[in-house]
Structure 1
Amino acid sequence: MTSTQRYSFTLLAVFILCISVQALNKVNVWGFFAHRKINELAVYALPDSMHIYLRSHIEYLSEHAVDPDRRRHSTKGEAEKHYIDLDYYPYDIKQLADSFPKSWEMALSCYPEDTLRTYGIAPWNLQQYHYRLVKQFQGRDLSKLLKTMADYGHYVGDIHVPLHTTMNYNGQLTGQKGIHGLWETRLPELFFDEYDLLVEEVKYIDDVQELIWSVVLESHRLMPEVLHKEMMLSKANSSSKYTFEERGERTTTSYAKSFSQLYHDNLNGMVEQRMRCAVSCLASLWYTAWVDAGQPSLKEFE
């Protein structure tokens, strides 16, 4: 091979790597895999009064857990339901907990609606979805109930992701493009079999709004660690960060398993803990909506 050929080959390899890394930046929230698992495991966590009737619909609830991602680019007003950029607002973490408007009505009294929607409405959307789910339990229409439960599960999963609370959601502001897919897609897919996601018995949530915001604020508290540890490890392992992998009939660029393992280990169980929390939170919220609806017999649903 001549020097010119070697140079051309090197340029081609770099081009392919850049294109593939850009593809990593566009992966779906939590990854389809994680969203499906969260919905599936939440069904198993429900009490028998719900589980024995919903277990036959686990496949639907799991498969349709990703519907909100599938429509986020085609349905107006959908994308803003998946995140909230808390660092846009002039509050530190304590002020967010103490002073930031938690209800949609209060938020509208403090900020223009277009501003709120631009920087995400995830927690407020979830509060509205809870009321919708209560009505679906009361309505006894099985198809509508299952659709709402599946969507609700997706949004609950989203607020457990630290990178869904920041304007720097994909590391694009700090030279870390692709971290979004690394944290919530690559790591769960690689290490899921090591996770213990069994949760204790679900409980009734007295204050749904408070629970939702506690989850969002905990995710935001973890966000700096997610970014900082990846940045430090990338500086020390830049040459071994990516690898080529065969996926079906395609060759793609992914984060190397060795780098992913290193990052996963340095996060000290964070991804597993957030997934377990999402399963527990979702099961409890489903249960709470059912109780608020009067505990209807699910076997009577059409």
Structure 2
Amino acid sequence: MLKLVLPLLLASSTAFAWGGRGHDAICRAAVFLVKEEGLKEYLRNKPQMMGHLCNIPDFYWKSLGGDAAKHGNAAHFIDIEVIGLKVADIPSDYKKIVTDYTGKENKFKNDGTTIKDIPTEFGSAWWRADQFVTRIAALNKDFAAAKPPTNFKEEQDENLPYNKLAYQMVVDMGLMGHFVGDISQPFHTTADYDGWAAGHGGIHSYFEDSVVGEFDGDLDWLVLKEARALKNPSFLKPATVVDRMKALSIISNTEIPKILKMDPVTKPSVLKKEHGMEIKTRAERKPASVAFKKMKPVIVTDMARGALLLANLWDEAYSKAGRPKIGAYKSYKYPFTVEFVMPDYYSIPNEVKTKEK
């Protein structure tokens, strides 16, 4: 059995929530759930592009290393137990969390260790999604001043100011989708993200990747169908983006015990701490095909919630940007890679900001 020896102070999860296939399915489904007609018109032919963009924060940004990894990786989760509050009681003001809990005891470790850096230890997925909604809304004045393309040549012109704005909007929408999808994955709402404290070590990738891999080619349709069946969900009711992300996190987090019961463990994982190191022996469990029979409905519903919230946030961002006629932009420019976007909701040293530009 594989054993892992890691530093005791290893940073929080950098696991891929839902894996590439899951994020892709969520963002493709969201395309067909938007309500804003102008946005729907543009996105209906772009589900493949949105699925790709939603995976950029995992498969491209995480490969960059350096400050992109330091400030980007922790934006994929919320490790609620670190500050010792229930999800519903976590403040919506990120700077308040940084001020109130930096230097306080890490309630998850419960060994006297203090929290040195909230962004990397606690995470920030809610605020990361909000950042992209805000970035899109900020395009409003530029869209109002720019002239939409009026002929075939202008439609294809990547340098036309209006087209550049439309491209930036859609890229930011796709990037936003990743972090909404992250929060629909229950194990991205807990410090015990890989199940080691519960004897289910290795559950994270098993649940989001191995079991998801058991779906046939109808995963996108199942997610879309389930999302359309969700009537008046509670997580769409809060007024702000952060509070909607929080509301979804509350639901996702409460599903963890249910998923652990479905995990077909035949031998629990073992976690030992010796001389400042963690010695991990993964849980032994039955093949993913066995778990799939029980976990399938849970996964589909979790992804459907993520897709529905994402479509809701896309609609809001598009509306705040002035409902531009982005369907007039018809270039085939494709965002194969996207420059890393630094978080802007907590203080980052100026030298880092300068280097990232």
Instruction: Note whether the superposition's TM-score is higher than 0.5.
Output: yes
Tell me, in whole angstroms, the C-alpha distance in 2 between the residues paired with 1:45 and 1:56: 14
Match of 1:180 in 2: 204
The within-5 A match list for 1:1-302 is 18=2, 28-47=16-35, 48-70=37-59, 71-73=61-63, 74=65, 75=68, 76-91=70-85, 93=86, 96-97=87-88, 99-112=89-102, 114-136=117-139, 139=142, 140=162, 141-191=165-215, 193=218, 195-198=222-225, 199-200=227-228, 206-230=239-263, 233-235=264-266, 241-242=285-286, 255-257=287-289, 259-264=290-295, 269-301=297-329
**CA shift in 2, pair 1:26/1:285, >3 Å:** closer
What amino acid is the match of 1:224? P
What amino acid is the match of 1:101? P
**CA shift in 2, pair 1:33/1:222, >3 Å:** same
Q: CA deviation at 1:240?
A: 9.1
Number of residues paired by the alignment? 259
What amino acid is the match of 1:299? G
Tell me, in whole angstroms, the C-alpha distance in 2 between the residues paired with 1:166 and 1:147: 29
**CA shift in 2, pair 1:171/1:133, >3 Å:** same
**CA shift in 2, pair 1:300/1:284, >3 Å:** same
SS in 2 for 1:176: coil
Q: CA deviation at 1:270?
A: 1.7
Do the aligned partners of 1:165 and 1:223 also contact (CA within 8 Å) in 2?
Answer: no
Bigger CA drift: 197-206 or 77-86? 197-206
Bigger CA drift: 172-181 or 272-281? 172-181
Give 1 or 2: higher helix fraction: 1
**CA shift in 2, pair 1:205/1:61, >3 Å:** farther
**CA shift in 2, pair 1:27/1:88, >3 Å:** closer
**CA shift in 2, pair 1:186/1:275, >3 Å:** same
Tell me, in whole angstroms, the C-alpha distance in 1 between the residues paired with 2:139 and 2:62: 23
Q: CA deviation at 1:138?
A: 5.5
**Alignment identity in percent?**
23
Tell me, in whole angstroms, the C-alpha distance in 1 between the residues paired with 2:238 and 2:79: 26
**CA shift in 2, pair 1:81/1:34, >3 Å:** same
Do the aligned partners of 1:39 and 1:150 also contact (CA within 8 Å) in 2?
Answer: yes
Q: Deviations over 1:28-75 (max 9, x none)?
A: 221100111111111111233211112233222112221101222522
Provide structure 1 residue ranges, at least 5 long, that are not aligned to the other structure.
1-13, 20-24, 243-254
Provide structure 2 residue ranges, at least 5 long, that are not aligned to the other structure.
4-12, 103-115, 143-161, 270-282, 332-357
Tell me, in whole angstroms, the C-alpha distance in 2 between the residues paired with 1:196 and 1:240: 30
Tell me, in whole angstroms, the C-alpha distance in 1 between the residues paired with 2:15 and 2:129: 22
Q: CA RMSD in A?
A: 3.1
Stretches (4+) displaced over 4 A:
136-140, 201-205, 236-240
**CA shift in 2, pair 1:138/1:170, >3 Å:** farther
What amino acid is the match of 1:220? N
Q: CA deviation at 1:196?
A: 4.8
Bigger CA drift: 28-37 or 39-48? 39-48
SS in 2 for 1:77: helix
SS in 2 for 1:72: helix
Tell me, in whole angstroms, the C-alpha distance in 2 between the residues paired with 1:168 and 1:178: 11
**CA shift in 2, pair 1:164/1:204, >3 Å:** closer
What amino acid is the match of 2:295? H
